[in-house]
Amino acid sequence: QGRELDVEEIDDTEENDRTKFQDQLMTIGVVGRHVPGHSLTILCKLLEERTRRLYGQLQRLHSQAMNISDNSILDCLFEDIHWLVLIAGHVVSMDSQGEAASIPSEIMQYSIQQGASGQVNVQTTLKLLASPACHLPDVPGAEESSDHFVRLIRACTLTARVADTAPLDTEAQGSF
């Protein structure tokens, strides 16, 4: 918010950001995997917050005409979400050239440690995962006791769902 994005920057299709910033994203992924408790939590919160804001803006777009300021906010939200998803993807997966991406051992070990230490309520995590349209506070204990990796994957899935359905699907209006 408060940032002006150049339309050319958003529409730039010369080289996609994943390729253009591959080295930087890989480095961010390595750093994020060194402190998964911190990085996964922050990525979840940022992505969930931006998704809620995106949902609100898309509903506003659907219900009334938006002005230039609103379009600028929407552009910034899309840009933020774009980068958050790219970063999240590089934290929770390792991409090998020509091979399928895999979940790094650091992330798997962190998830296992979370469960073994009693930080994760499996039922809450499953309920969160099974309720993709549900607002996080509507799942009791979700923020405190759900697996961070599962929560991040859910946040990415929810973001895609909101971007895909919010302006057209009136049934989704009660989701947030």
Greatest pairwise CA separation for the chain in angstroms: 51
Would 112 be classed as within a structural domain? yes
Task: Quote the pLDDT of residue 19.
Answer: 87
Query: pLDDT at residue 66 above 90?
Result: no
Tokens for 155, please give them: 């946040």
Would 2 be classed as within a structural domain? no
Q: Which residues are CB-contacts of 111 (< 8 A; sequence separation ≥ 6)?
A: 147, 148, 149, 150
Would 176 be classed as within a structural domain? no
Would 20 be classed as within a structural domain? yes
Q: What is the residue range of 134's domain?
A: 7-171
For residue range 126-153, what is the model confidence (pLDDT) as tens digits? Answer: 998 888 777 788 888 899 999 999 999 9
Q: How many domains does the chain have?
A: 1
**Residues for the chain: how many in total?**
176
For residues 42 and 148, give the distance between their C-alpha atoms in angstroms, rounded to a whole number. 10
Task: Quote the pLDDT of residue 2.
Answer: 46
For residue range 149-158, what is the model confidence (pLDDT) as tens digits? Answer: 999 999 999 8
Task: Quote the pLDDT of residue 25.
Answer: 94
Task: Quote the pLDDT of residue 4.
Answer: 53
What element of type H or E holds 121? none
Query: pLDDT at residue 166 above 80?
Result: no
User: Do 40 and 149 meet the contact criterion of CB atoms below 8 Å apart?
Assistant: yes
Would 1 be classed as within a structural domain? no
Task: Quote the pLDDT of residue 6.
Answer: 55
How far from chain centre, in Å, is Cα 14?
25
For residue range 68-117, what is the model confidence (pLDDT) as tens digits? Answer: 677 788 889 999 999 999 999 999 998 767 777 889 999 999 999 999 99
For residue range 7-49, what is the model confidence (pLDDT) as tens digits? Answer: 555 555 556 998 899 899 999 999 999 999 999 999 999 999 9
Task: Quote the pLDDT of residue 76.
Answer: 92
Would 32 be classed as within a structural domain? yes
User: Do 38 and 152 meet the contact criterion of CB atoms below 8 Å apart?
Assistant: no
Would 148 be classed as within a structural domain? yes
